[in-house]
Structure 1
Amino acid sequence: MARTAPVADTDTIAVLGGDLLREVFLHLPTPADLLRAALACKPFLHAARSARFLRRFRRRHPFACPLLLGCFVHRPSEDRCREDPSPLLLLAPLPAAARRVVEAGDFALSFLPDRGSSGPDPWRVLDSRSGRPLLWDRASAEQPVADPWKVLDCRNGRLLLRNRVSRELAVADPLTRRWASLPAPPAERPVGYGLVTDDGCSSAFQAFCLSEDGGGSPGLRALVLSSSELRWADAAVLAGQYNLEDSRVMQANGSLYWKLKGGERMVALNTETMEFSLLELPDFARQFSFDVIEKGDDDAGGLYLLTMLGCCIEVWGGWDDGSGVLTWTLVDKSVKFQRAMADMIGSPQFYRHGLVVIGVVAGVVFLRNKDRLLSIDLETMKLRMLAQKDTCPSALMYPYTMAWPPSCLNPTEEGM
């Protein structure tokens, strides 16, 4: 007798209900387990697609999701007329299924328009080497541009990009080839950008722009644009003079952070209350690079910084002492990586160039050592070499993650 495949008891599943199913799914160890469960039957898929549930699942499993696919980097220019060419994706070690997802995407960003907003056709094609056009802006007669789009930030599989000529912005998803055009922010002197995305909804986001024109007086002005309205609005103003030169945006616990020049302080913008604050940083922040990280729901009250000191990963926690000043304490320290790095780099003198923390994403620390790009998995403490010498990009590097498989997302549940 031929065997028949087991059929899910839909009546029992219906009795359980979506809320109880989501509480069960919350205890699954990895996103892969959640995806397998979601694809078992339609009620399971409906329960797992809840945006609110996906946000809870991600907070509960900070090291397991999102999945790191690689790093967007800006390659060094070989031609003087080609300023900052199109970004390149350096792949992380991936299982076969994840690699197929990457191969199906468009990480060359060829789905984005190669035209500015100054007219119907403001460009003249000069060359088409490397598969991307080299363009000349007729209106401004500027130098040719190899690729008009530059990466400003990257969160949950979406890129915040700026057109080098028109100054308009765009939010793009290379996996789905979807993108949204944003108007140029009404800012005289923009000095920083940030992208905040929804963990459960694939289309909801907020774009932020920091400008030095603080409402007519010296200060920082924050502008915000929501995906639901697509127009810029004033969010907050911080009086005073602040230098954000070469400061990259950091993000944790619903706030954006920019380190001020000198390293003594950091500007924070709460994206929920739309309030600025100034934070005093520990002494090491003046000399060493760091990134802000999240430590989960249990430790939500503190601010955590991860840095590399003496070839060891250190995590420092800062708590308000009641007077508005943060008190910093060393809360975690890893083993020394000196010998492993010397063997991997091929020289015990690598420390002369320092170890620069570029960012911490999906439980992975990214480091730069002169012309080399390294990573350390915080769960396994495994050290990897991502790029070196002629393949190593400039200091602009944006880890790219896939928040959830496309089949797990439901854009109709944005309001949940």
Structure 2
Amino acid sequence: MARTAPVADADTIAVLGGDLLREVFLHLPTPADLLRAALACKPFIHAARSARFLRRFRRRHPSACPLLLGCFVHRPSEDRCREDPSPLLLPAPLPAAARRVVEGGDFALSFLPDRGSSGPDPWRVLDSRSGRPLLWDRASAEQPVADPWKVLDCRNGRLLLRNRVSGELAVADPLTRRWASLPAPPAERPVGYGLVTDDGCSSVFQAFCLSEDGGGSSGLRALVLSSSELRWADAAVLAGQYNLEDSRVMQANGSLYWKLKGGERMVALNTATMAFSLLELPDFARQFSFDVIEKGDDDAGGLYLLTMLGCCIEVWGGWDDGSGVLTWTLVDKSVRFQRAMAEMIGSPQFYRHGLVVIAVVAGVVFLRNKDRLLSIDLETMKLRMLVRKDECPSALMYPYTMAWPPSCLNPTEQGNVRLTTSYDDNKVLCRGNEEEGIQSSIRWLRRNQLCLNV
């Protein structure tokens, strides 16, 4: 009896199909394993280049994907820290290869253009006679701005910044030293900003601006700018008057959130439907800080808040009761950190200033106790001191991660590979043929596989 010839490997892979391959890839333990598998052959990399799959993979590996590199510290010009006013990155515990990647970045943001105090045009016309203008050099009379860029948001390895003089915005990547110049939003009174980066394609982003027009009497207006067009457009309007003073933008499940003054409600902007909503908050939000977090699959529903109450980490879930009102329930609670924090900080200072939740990123909670910065790993519950007293008073803290997905896995579009290139001259994306994309992916993996293997 003649033996049946074995099915060729390529045929076996073709029989599996992209959907089944993605289900297998979803169970790989680390992002480095996914990269190695994806680059094994063309069907594998085609399967991995799916925006929906890459988002699912990130949700399944929250502590390793994206890789947490540290905490970006931006010190305001009016309250300088030590002698160096430049921003810096407080590194997280990293392997040697990842530390080298961080050291190669420019977290002082020196690659950004310094517009100076006079903006892009230093000359002002005072008068004109017989076709001859009388000009005044504003730069000669004004003091230079020591810190021209203000950080507005930080997401997925990208910073959203605003020039203090010209009002223009920029999206910058300190690791690659690339940046995109964005026009100033046509807003009467900007009160909030947000940066949305697609964790299914790292070269795509959206910038949002909230504005109070007409002195707030016209309501809250949302403007959006996409990396594909680089121009502002109206997104949504919310009638009424709202106080976003000192509100820090939060982000989860494709929506942006701003806590309103008083802590009774927060404004939500769905970036997919471009619709505003007002959400009632649980009682603790009136007194304590929190961050909105992602939990479970995309279709799991519910809104989750992480806070620090009684020296315990608590996670609260909110579900619609059918009438449009959220019902809040405590879904998770950690051990008490009271003794450990009192020993690390000192009892008087700890109890006097309390704890402020800054953000939850890559499975790590970042907390602030006045001038001190602490972190708690949600997997190991390990407490660390990142910044001690008086090292960086009044600094703005932003957890910083490596962009996900890496450029070699950015999804394809109409058979062409989307590759991240220099942001100079607003060229955010370029396209190459498939073979060039795969070769670029292989080179990328050889350079970065060690730092991703954590």
Q: Which category describes the TM-score, using the shorter chain as reference length?
A: 0.7 to 0.9
1:375–1:14 Cα change, 3 Å: same
- Contact in 2 for aligned 1:76/1:393 (Cα 8 Å): no
1:188–1:363 Cα change, 3 Å: same
1:32–1:360 Cα change, 3 Å: same
- Contact in 2 for aligned 1:135/1:144 (Cα 8 Å): no
Deviations 1:156-177 (A, max 9, x none): 1111111111000011112222
1:369–1:135 Cα change, 3 Å: farther
Q: Percent same amino acid at aligned positions?
A: 96
- Contact in 2 for aligned 1:115/1:122 (Cα 8 Å): no
Alpha-carbon separation, structure 2, partners of 1:269 and 1:313: 26
Q: Does 1:201 align with 2:201?
A: yes
The structural deviation recorded for 1:211 is: 0.6
Alpha-carbon separation, structure 2, partners of 1:344 and 1:127: 64
The structural deviation recorded for 1:363 is: 1.0
- Contact in 1 for aligned 2:193/2:209 (Cα 8 Å): yes
1:136–1:321 Cα change, 3 Å: farther
Deviations 1:135-162 (A, max 9, x none): 9993695543113111100111111111
The structural deviation recorded for 1:404 is: 3.1
The structural deviation recorded for 1:216 is: 8.4
Alpha-carbon separation, structure 1, partners of 2:193 and 2:65: 24
Match of 2:184 in 1: 184
Alpha-carbon separation, structure 2, partners of 1:130 and 1:310: 75
- Contact in 2 for aligned 1:160/1:170 (Cα 8 Å): yes
The structural deviation recorded for 1:373 is: 0.3
Alpha-carbon separation, structure 1, partners of 2:131 and 2:57: 40
Structure number with greater Rg is 2
1:330–1:234 Cα change, 3 Å: same
- Contact in 1 for aligned 2:58/2:66 (Cα 8 Å): yes
- Contact in 2 for aligned 1:302/1:317 (Cα 8 Å): yes
The structural deviation recorded for 1:275 is: 1.0
Alpha-carbon separation, structure 1, partners of 2:378 and 2:241: 37
Alpha-carbon separation, structure 1, partners of 2:132 and 2:210: 31
1:2–1:46 Cα change, 3 Å: farther
Deviations 1:342-365 (A, max 9, x none): 222244651221111111111111
The structural deviation recorded for 1:108 is: 2.0
Alpha-carbon separation, structure 1, partners of 2:36 and 2:133: 42
The structural deviation recorded for 1:371 is: 1.4
Alpha-carbon separation, structure 1, partners of 2:398 and 2:244: 19
Range that drifts further, 193-202 or 72-81: 72-81
Deviations 1:282-327 (A, max 9, x none): 1111111111111121773211111101100011111111222111
Deviations 1:50-77 (A, max 9, x none): 4332122112222331111111112265
Q: Would you identify which runs of 4 or more consecutive aligned residues in structure 1 move more than 6 Å? A: 1-8, 78-84, 116-119, 123-137
1:395–1:331 Cα change, 3 Å: farther
- Contact in 2 for aligned 1:304/1:316 (Cα 8 Å): yes
Range that drifts further, 130-139 or 300-309: 130-139
Gapped runs of 5+ residues in structure 2? 414-452
After TM superposition, the score normalised by the length of structure 2 is 0.80
- Contact in 2 for aligned 1:319/1:327 (Cα 8 Å): yes
- Contact in 1 for aligned 2:54/2:405 (Cα 8 Å): no
- Contact in 2 for aligned 1:303/1:319 (Cα 8 Å): yes
Alpha-carbon separation, structure 2, partners of 1:130 and 1:36: 71
The structural deviation recorded for 1:111 is: 1.9
1:240–1:120 Cα change, 3 Å: closer
Count of residues in Structure 1 that have an aligned counterpart in Structure 2: 415
- Contact in 2 for aligned 1:115/1:123 (Cα 8 Å): no
Deviations 1:219-258 (A, max 9, x none): 1111011111111111111111111001000011111110
Alpha-carbon separation, structure 1, partners of 2:129 and 2:247: 33
Range that drifts further, 404-413 or 151-160: 404-413
Match of 1:130 in 2: 130
- Contact in 1 for aligned 2:123/2:138 (Cα 8 Å): yes
Range that drifts further, 83-92 or 359-368: 83-92
Alpha-carbon separation, structure 2, partners of 1:6 and 1:129: 91
1:216–1:388 Cα change, 3 Å: closer
- Contact in 2 for aligned 1:82/1:146 (Cα 8 Å): no
Deviations 1:18-39 (A, max 9, x none): 4443221111122122133334
- Contact in 1 for aligned 2:200/2:405 (Cα 8 Å): no
1:83–1:49 Cα change, 3 Å: farther
Report the aligned-residue RMSD.
Answer: 7.3
- Contact in 1 for aligned 2:197/2:205 (Cα 8 Å): yes
Match of 1:385 in 2: 385
The structural deviation recorded for 1:407 is: 5.4
Alpha-carbon separation, structure 2, partners of 1:125 and 1:342: 61
After TM superposition, the score normalised by the length of structure 1 is 0.86
Alpha-carbon separation, structure 2, partners of 1:81 and 1:182: 29
